[in-house]
Amino acid sequence: MSGLSDALLQALREAVGEAGLITDAERMQSYLSDWRGAYRGQAAAVLRPASTEEVAAVVRLCAQAGVALVPQGGNTGLCGGSIPDDSGAQIVLSLTRMKRIRAVDVANATITVEAGMILQQLQEAAAEVGRLFPLSLGAEGSCTVGGNLATNAGGTAVLRYGNMRDLTLGLEVVLPDGRVWDGLRGLRKDNTGYDLKHLFIGSEGTLGIITAAVLKLFPAVRSLTTAWVALPSPQAAVELIGQMRGLCGDRLTGFELMSRQSVEFVLRHVAGVSDPFAETHPWYVLIELSDTQPNAPLNELLEQGLGAALEQGVALDAVVAASDAQVRALWALREGISEAQNHEGPSLKHDISVPVSRIPDFIERTDAALQQAFPGVRIVTYGHVGDGNLHYNISKPAGAEDGAFKAQAEAIMRVIYDQTLRYAGSISAEHGLGQSKRLAAQHYKAPLELELMTRVKQALDPAGLMNPGKLL
Ligand code: FAD
Ligand code: MLT
Ligand code: ZN
């Protein structure tokens, strides 16, 4: 039974139709916990509007009734942002029925899509018109454009194309009072005052509901080469990315770091993967070069760069993928880390960033501090070197109790975030604050920044009905 009044329920049913309203406890379940099973909540209902007008009607009704809304896309977020609290009074607003392409303007290099479109379908739509939509991440088969925007998602191609913020020209947003802001402009230049779209990008559903976006398209990739490289240290990774950038410029489109621990988890838990090398090595990077020209001499560039790195001892060993299947196999080793770590018990996720040059020191000192304070914890370090973004995830010591390990989560987090601060870093590079880092942000962000953020929230959502308990 829903806790909403009969009158509100009836009005919501009229707004979204039978197909857009779920109150049955069984059918609501998949909307109430996240991909990892790390967060679980309750809801009065799940609403699935099919158009911007329906979203606006729902938001107006909920504003009048004082009912809080939790926007949700593919529910792949990693910090509990899309999960309601456990009061059972909130409504989950799923955008997944809004997945139309509204316009493609090849000459303007833009595509306009609705927020519920799955990222992979957007990539495919771009490919159909001979273009590239470059955002690329492990959850692309189920995450949505709205979720990517609301979290300002990053992923593996940021070093060349930027994050979701950089890929967006315009937005359509249903404001907390139910009015629709039509900011769907495909302009690369517009200096008519504050750039409002940037308020909503990265706002994690706390300022309004994103319903559509104008996104940038890029020339399609026609040549690609991928290598798996063994390294002695994170310092070598920083040196190698510098050398490869100097040599390849914008053709360097992927540079992903992985510790041996990360790769071991994947080898243990993900079916069909294998170690490219006979020997084990402490660190690896996956390098991707791409070009818009067919038959671009990428292998020659790669061989030149890796040859020099091997000679200098910056790289220890390297394999270059010889087929599409091998390219996929190398990426599977990288993209499998999240899933593999889930099989090792609770994982404490920290998606920090520091200046690229500080990565080696950060890893060395934070590893040492953690091993001293929490002997035996397994540090699963991987990430997007070009963005200074490390997924510095912690798994419990082998054989330890889940409960005892979880009880240390807060103290472990403190060690990692104190180090992050010391290196002038950020406690969230790409996943956002959601529920998991909301309180930490209160501690680690500057008071003036928090004050300004709170003022923005109050200005746009004075009743506090947009995703309460998240981000701020
Ligand atoms: P959800 O999880 O549904 O929601 C995320 C947040 O956005 C919530 O706060 C929600 O309230 C809000 N929201 C959703 N839709 C809307 C909307 N239309 N309007 C307003 N607010 C909305 N992230 C990266 O940045 N880089 C990575 O490399 C990366 N890799 C990942 C790999 C895996 C295997 C997984 C599971 C996740 C990964 N993520 C990564 C996390 C990432 O945040 C998401 O995958 C994605 O951006 C979230 O999209 P979603 O549609 O699933 O959003
Ligand atoms: C990734 O890059 O794989 C994700 O952002 C990290 C994660 O799942 O922790
Ligand atoms: Zn990531």
- Is position 161 within any domain? yes
**Residue 270: pLDDT over 90:** yes
- Is position 456 within any domain? no
Determine the residue type at 321. Answer: A
- Is position 462 within any domain? no
Ligand minimally distant from the alpha carbon of residue 175? 1
Task: Look at strands 180-183 and 168-174 and give their pairing.
Answer: antiparallel
- Residue 404 CA to residue 418 CA, distance in Å, equals 22
What does the pLDDT look like over 50-96, one tens digit per residue?
A: 999 999 999 999 999 999 999 999 999 999 999 999 999 999 999 99
Same domain membership, residue 109 and residue 212: yes
DSSP assignments along 75-106, one per residue: S--SSSTTS--TTS--EEEE-TT---EEEEET
Q: What is the atom index within ligand 2 of the atom nearest the CA of 351?
A: 9
Same domain membership, residue 206 and residue 170: yes
Same domain membership, residue 110 and residue 71: no
- Is position 314 within any domain? yes
| Binding site membership of 386 for ligand 1 (Cβ less than 6 Å) | no
Instruction: Pull the structure tokens for residue 84.
Output: 């309601």
What does the pLDDT look like over 399-425, one tens digit per residue?
A: 999 999 999 999 999 999 999 999 999
- Is position 467 within any domain? no
- Overall number of domains in the chain: 4
| Binding site membership of 339 for ligand 2 (Cβ less than 6 Å) | no
Model confidence at 35, in pLDDT bands (50, 70, 90)? Answer: confident
Determine the residue type at 269. Answer: H
What does the pLDDT look like over 328-361, one tens digit per residue?
A: 999 999 999 999 999 999 889 999 999 999 999 9
Write the CB contacts of 140 (distance below 8 Å, at least 6 apart in sequence): 118, 119, 120, 123, 155
Give the domain extent around 433.
344-438
81 neighbors 204 (Cβ within 8 angstroms): yes
Same domain membership, residue 266 and residue 298: yes
Model confidence at 319, in pLDDT bands (50, 70, 90)? Answer: very high
**Residue 229: pLDDT over 80:** yes
User: Of 339, 366, 399, which closes a domain?
Assistant: 339
Model confidence at 2, in pLDDT bands (50, 70, 90)? Answer: low
244 neighbors 252 (Cβ within 8 angstroms): yes
The closest of 147, 173, 170, 171 to 56, measured between CA atoms, is: 173
- Is position 106 within any domain? yes
The closest of 76, 78, 77, 82 to 94, measured between CA atoms, is: 82
Taken in order 457, 460, 462, 467, the sign of the CA dihedral is negative
- Residue 50 CA to residue 73 CA, distance in Å, equals 13
Tracing tokens 């040492």 back to the chain, one arrives at 368
Same domain membership, residue 334 and residue 238: yes
| Binding site membership of 77 for ligand 1 (Cβ less than 6 Å) | yes
User: Of 321, 339, 357, which closes a domain?
Assistant: 339
Same domain membership, residue 350 and residue 302: no
- Is position 151 within any domain? yes
| Binding site membership of 251 for ligand 2 (Cβ less than 6 Å) | no
- Helices 298-312, 234-248: axis angle to 10 degrees equals 140
What pLDDT score does 236 carry?
98
User: How far does residue 156's CA lie from ligand 3's centre (Å)?
Assistant: 7
- Is position 457 within any domain? no
Instruction: Pull the structure tokens for residue 72.
Output: 């949700």
What does the pLDDT look like over 182-196, one tens digit per residue?
A: 999 999 999 999 999
| Binding site membership of 393 for ligand 1 (Cβ less than 6 Å) | no
| CA 121 to mean position of chain CA atoms | 17
